[in-house]
Structure 1
Amino acid sequence: MGKKKVLDLYRAPFPLYTVKVDATTGLVITAGGGGPSKTGIKNAVHFLDVQMVGKNQYSSSLLHSHDTDTRATINMAVGDGVIAAGQDGTCSLMRFKLCLQKEENSTHRDGNALELSNARRRSGKAGKGNLENRSTTGDVSDTRNETVQITVTNIAEVLSDLNPHDPLQKVVRFSPDMNLLLTGGTDGYIRVWEFPSLEKKFDFKAHEKEIDDLDMSTISKQLVTVGRDFVCNVWSDNQLVTSLNWLETMPQIAEKTYRYMACRFGNGEDEKDAIRLYTVQIPHKRDKKPPPCYITKWDGKILLPMLTSPCGTEVISCLAVSDSGRFLGLGTVNGSVAVHIAFSLQKLYYVHESHGIVVTDVVFLPNLMKGQNIKGNNKAALLSVAVDSRCQVHTVTKERPIPPWLFFCGLIIVGMLLILQYLFPVLI
């Protein structure tokens, strides 16, 4: 474990900061850029078609690139065909639409349609179940083709951070019911808009320092926020309910030696109607001998800590929870990627410096994409992106069952040893 070489799923022409999956359309959406600098590095949102091409292998095709001018997208939320993109101190909302168009002449194509068609031919994946289907009979000029076109429309923009010095939106989320848009930034404020009207509902100071993360429960609609002021707060609307204290599970650790870095709600593994909250704590200061980071699992209804476990000495940079609630995905500032079992917080998968530079976002492939199982026989598939412009896929494979013949051979060997021990107790 830790020696595995992970192949790149996709490489962008700019640093990648965020990745999300739209299960309805089956699109993987990633974004980033070089910002306002005049280095020639563009800023864009890329739409990828990801397919399973082997037993545990994936390939991707770039379907569309949406230019974001001089602003790089640092964080992103996706839902109902809308992207909420954090760009500097604003949240830009874009509507995207995927459509299939039939063409009678395969030689008359443009843009993304041609790009996808060529990609499909190179990978030899044209056929049933793919986005492009070609007829296997008739002349080329009479061939009917289904080509993909993605349209992206800028629909709105809201100010999400009012820091007078260097405004920056740090995190954005849609509420589970898609009725709210929530943002947090360097000014320590949480701003909540009704969606899709974008009428501001709340604007309140949640932390004394910048906000690193936030998430909303699917059951109680409580909001959890993480700030750099060592605090993880729970809110009902704009009213403070409580502040979490992970040190209840680790009383030997001194206060303010760790700070919260991330928070995520998830389903309660195999427990029906259960909800869990996961938080990551990282050292406030770096030492020559780095101390471990920690994951804490909370009861998501009563918000009491259930379990805390160390997760390595590399500083965690991002956190994700699978939609089944069974797995946690972690990225580190060193470029490493890990998957932990949510129930026990035990490390299940780890690749040391898979990216070689800070991992900026991780996300699990959902159980179903466009109604199809894209995980194959894998327990989980985690996407990671980093400043090195690479998008990788990390798969956790299912254990192979013990063959019956091997099981019976084992029984025979054990039986023979017991017989020998009974007949010749001195020799054994």
Structure 2
Amino acid sequence: MAHTRRPSDGLLARVNFPLYAVDMLTSRHILVAGGGGSSKTGVANGFEIYELYHNGSHFCAEEVLRHETGANVVMNFAVRNGGRRGYLCAGQEAHCQMYYVQPRVQSEEDGNGNGVGVGDGKPAPEERPHENGNVRQRNAHSGVEPVANGHRPPLSTADILRQFRRLHFDIQAADVIQTDFLKGAEPLQRVVRISGNGRLMATGGTDGKLRVWTFPQMTLAAELAAHSKEIDDLDFSPDSKLIASISKDAQGLVWDLASGQLQHKLQWKTPEGAKYLFKRCRYGTVEAQKDNYRLFTIANPLGKVGKQRGFLQHWDCASGQLRQAVAIDESLSSLAVRDDGRFVAVGTMFSGSVSMYIAFSLQRVLHIPHAHSMFVTGLQFLPITNEEGPPISSDTEAAVLSISVDNKVCIHSLSQRRTIPAWIAIVFLIVMIFAVFVLCSYIGI
């Protein structure tokens, strides 16, 4: 039986532009991106960074940085932490723009707002340590609407320390490369991914070519004529040896990166012979082992009139055969897998709902109907095995972020599921055996 949303979950922040991409910049910093495009609508384009923490009763988000990208909407991005400097690769039209993300620690004891720089030590943006509900705003011109989500409890030691030293970020534009070359129409980068070992970057777009680049140099290493139509999604395997690609040509393909050869196609028997298109693909580890992993996809019917029925699918990575699939009474739009591979989340197209599943069984354990007023454009689990810092401590078993073109950033958490300790189960079994023995003796069996 799937849990429903806790009252403390839900809206974290609301920005003033549609959101298309979300990821964790660090173990506790959320990066979201989007925009209104190049039209003169007055809708901004850019990034927002939030610090996320749990105050003992619910998750809270504090705005850290807003970075606008002019006329270029950010439809997709990938992040990579490189120690003292992070990399942000953003899809902007037919190009991939790299940004350097420089973290720095600021001490609020300084009245002038100057920080202790991890990198360049530039002054921080204007501080406004005003608390209003769930979002703590720092810049009154950021376009973030305060969200009420419960009262603020007394400050803990961690909250007090947070007031004196906070992590800030400077974003600086670096190299830019063209990644899509569609002829006869406007080219567009649809997806960008960075491999787990940080050595490769992959891009896909409207020309159907899968391009693999060295990273962070961003020089072309391989170009594969992977699909006949635009690529919708890509994902590297956890060991960085394979890459999966899916496209509007209804193909799901897995490629060997060392040889550049096709390893296998994802093929399955569709219901009533209907045509289905893969929408998203994600790899997930098994017990956080990089050399032991699963592949998950979501698929939607093409051109079906009436009730739409999407599928969440689990594939065998060795053979490419479908292992499990669950039907969902709606078309699906987004997919995420937690970094330890234990949970999978999906977002829907029409109702804006979010659901969480156990990865090995595809049993639904959480369902949040109408989490957004429009389709869910992105999902991201809070990490628990992040190497860049400790994960956020909370009373939840799992938590996933969701974004949408309704401008909202939301969080949905699974409460700790109660299990019976092993010793209690053993005692109960012994008592039951003894009771059966006594009963049999009493009736003379």
- TM-score w.r.t. the length of structure 1 is 0.84
| Alignment of 1:167 onto 2:183 | no
CA distance in 2, matches of 1:347, 1:52: 25
Within a 5 Å distance, the mapping from 1:181-260 to structure 2 comes to 181-219=201-239, 221-237=241-257, 239-247=260-268, 250=269, 253-254=272-273, 257-260=275-278
The residue number in structure 1 matching 2:78 is: 77
Structure 1: 5+ residue runs without aligned partners?
135-144
> Which residue is 1:395 aligned to?
413
**Equivalent residues of 1:62, 1:116 under 8 A apart:** no
> What does 1:111-122 correspond to in 2, within 5 Å?
112=125, 114-116=127-129, 119=136
Deviation of 1:18 after TM superposition, in Å, equals 0.8
- Shift of the alpha carbon at 1:17? 0.7
Match of 2:69 in 1: 68
Q: Which one-letter code corresponds to 1:173 in the other structure?
A: R
Note the residue ranges of structure 2 that are not aligned, 5 or more in a row.
115-122, 139-150
Aligned partners of 2:330 and 2:349 also within 8 Å = yes
- Paired residues of 2:288 and 2:339 also in contact (CA < 8 A): no
> Which residue number corresponds to residue 36 of structure 2?
34
Give the residue type in structure 2 aligned to 1:232: G
Over aligned residues, Cα RMSD in angstroms?
3.4
Q: Counterpart amino acid of 2:196?
A: P
1:98 and 1:150 in contact (8 A); partners too: yes
Equivalent of 1:154 in 162, 173, 179: 173
Equivalent in 308, 327, 338 of residue 322 of structure 1: 338
Q: 15, 18, 30: which one pairs with 1:15?
A: 18
Tell whether the 8 Å contact from 1:269 to 1:342 is kept in structure 2 after alignment.
no
Farther off after superposition, 41-50 or 121-130: 121-130
Q: One-letter code of the match for 1:11?
A: R
CA distance in 1, matches of 2:393, 2:226: 38
Q: Which moved more, 1:199-208 or 1:329-338?
A: 199-208
* 1:367/1:72 CA distance change after superposition, 3 Å: same
1:131 offset after TM fit, Å?
Answer: 8.9
Shift in alpha-carbon separation, 1:125–1:264, aligned structure 2, 3 A: farther
Aligned-pair identity in percent equals 30
Aligned twin of 2:302: 284
- Using a 3 Å threshold, how does the CA distance of structure 1 residues 107 and 197 change in structure 2: closer, same or farther? closer
Structure 2 contact 283–337 (Cα < 8 Å) conserved: yes
Is the Cα contact below 8 Å between 1:311 and 1:347 reproduced in 2? Answer: no
**What's the CA shift for 1:128?**
4.0
Could you tell me how far 1:331 is from its partner in structure 2?
0.8
1:112 alignment partner AA: P
Q: Flag the 1:11–1:220 CA change in 2: closer, same or farther, 3 A.
A: closer
Deviation track 1:3-40 (CA, whole Å, cap 9, x = no partner) reads 6465201111111111100235x311001111111111
The Cα shift of 1:63 comes to 0.5
Within 2, Cα distance between the matches of 1:90 and 1:131?
A: 43
Of 364, 367, 371, 2:381 maps to 364
Alignment of 1:129 onto 2:140? no
Of 52, 55, 64, the residue aligned with 1:53 is 55
What amino acid is the match of 1:92?
Q
Q: Which SS does the other structure have where 1:129 is aligned? A: helix
Q: Is the 8 A contact 2:10 2:371 kept in 1?
A: no
CA contact (8 A) 2:276 2:299 kept: yes
Partner letter of residue 376 of structure 2? Answer: V
SS in 2 for 1:239: coil
- Counterpart residue identity of residue 353, structure 2: S
Task: Give the direction of change, closer, same or farther, for the CA distance of 1:360–1:251 in structure 2 (3 Å limit).
Answer: closer
Task: Say whether residues 1:99 and 2:104 are aligned partners.
Answer: yes
Q: What's the TM-score, normalizing by structure 2?
A: 0.81
Contact 1:101 1:146 in 2 (8 A): yes
Matched, 1:263 2:263: no
